């Protein structure tokens, strides 16, 4: 009885799958054979993917413009350390990000808070590179911040630099272009002399894995901005 029941269940399951497939196929055919749908498809204009800076599109008249740099230093913060132990075969390297903001004449404000990240965390210590992406860092923790008032032309230059990073699909590289590099270059694009101190790292994870290198980093950047 149990064998007959399991066979019957299996047949029922296959029938349900076949029915679902037929429904899906029917839906595809209806969409493709309908002349109206075909005409709409041909006349459709591709929609451009919005840029992160589109938040300022159609911007109101503004009274002032500003750039703020935020730094979440490694571990508890407060030092130029480039990394802090975080658990088994993992470390905290900190993070840096920016906020661009304009105060509008109608007493509202428009802002963008963004940081640069690897899409997928690099796993090879000898090749710490990955596709990069911009992410919303609104509300992220930080220990250090510094605000720079900007002119409208320099504010636009900072936005243009952020656009270029996104449009050119800039790669994330731990030593050459990380979150701190992004922040520093946004600031410099805006005409600000943001400090850039070179730091080094030599992290032995054990089991034959060791990460060595150096470059811009949240630890040093945070200490520089404190001064």
pLDDT of residue 51: 82
Q: What is the mean pLDDT of the chain?
A: 81
% of residues, the chain, pLDDT over 70: 78
DSSP assignment, residue 144? E
- SS3 annotation, 206-225: ECCEEEEEEECCHHHHHHHH
pLDDT of residue 71: 98
pLDDT at 218 over 90: yes
The angle, 0 to 180 degrees and rounded to 10, between the axes of the packed helices 218-226 and 179-189 is 40
Specify the 3-state DSSP secondary structure of 38: helix
Q: Which tokens is 215 given?
A: 């470059």
Could you tell me if 178 and 218 are in contact, meaning their C-beta atoms sit under 8 angstroms apart? Answer: no
Could you tell me if 219 and 199 are in contact, meaning their C-beta atoms sit under 8 angstroms apart? Answer: yes
Residue 211: pLDDT band (50, 70, 90) is confident
pLDDT of residue 89: 73
pLDDT of residue 49: 60
pLDDT at 22 over 90: no
Q: Please, what's the b/e burial string for 161-187 (b: 16 or more CB within 10 A of its CB; e: otherwise)?
A: bbeebbeeebebbbbebbbbbbbbbbb
Domain ranges of the chain: 2-43, 53-226
Q: Say what the pTM is.
A: 0.76
Residue 26: pLDDT band (50, 70, 90) is very low
pLDDT tens per residue, range 100-135: 999 999 889 999 999 999 999 887 777 899 999 999
Lowest average pLDDT, out of 35-44, 67-76, 94-103, goes to 35-44
pLDDT at 54 over 60: yes
pLDDT at 84 over 60: yes
Long-range contacts of 195-201 (CB under 8 A, 24+ apart): 195/221, 195/224, 195/225, 196/221, 196/224, 197/80, 197/221, 197/223, 197/224, 199/80, 199/82, 200/82, 201/82, 201/83, 201/93
């Amino acid at each position: 009885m149990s064998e007959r029941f399991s066979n019957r269940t299996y047949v029922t399951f296959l029938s349900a799958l076949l029915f679902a497939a037929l429904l899906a196929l029917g839906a595809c055919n209806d969409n493709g054979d309908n002349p109206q749908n075909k005409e709409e498809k041909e006349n459709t204009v591709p929609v451009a993917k919005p840029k992160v800076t589109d938040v300022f599109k159609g911007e109101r008249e503004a009274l002032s413009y500003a750039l703020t740099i935020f730094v979440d230093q490694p571990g508890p913060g407060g030092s130029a350390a480039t990394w802090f132990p975080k658990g088994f075969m993992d470390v905290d390297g900190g993070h840096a990000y920016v906020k661009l903001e304009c105060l509008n004449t109608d007493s509202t404000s428009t802002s963008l808070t963004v940081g640069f990240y690897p899409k997928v965390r690099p796993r090879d210590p000898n090749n710490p590179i990955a596709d990069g992406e911009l992410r919303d860092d609104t509300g992220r923790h930080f220990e250090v911040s510094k605000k720079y008032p900007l002119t409208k032309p320099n504010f636009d230059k900072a936005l243009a630099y952020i656009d270029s990073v996104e449009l050119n699909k800039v790669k994330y590289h731990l030593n050459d272009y990380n979150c701190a590099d992004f922040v520093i270059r946004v600031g410099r694009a805006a005409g600000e002399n943001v400090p850039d101190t070179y730091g080094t790292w030599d992290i032995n994870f054990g089991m034959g894995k060791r990460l060595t290198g150096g470059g811009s980093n949240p630890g040093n950047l945070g200490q520089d901005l404190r001064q």
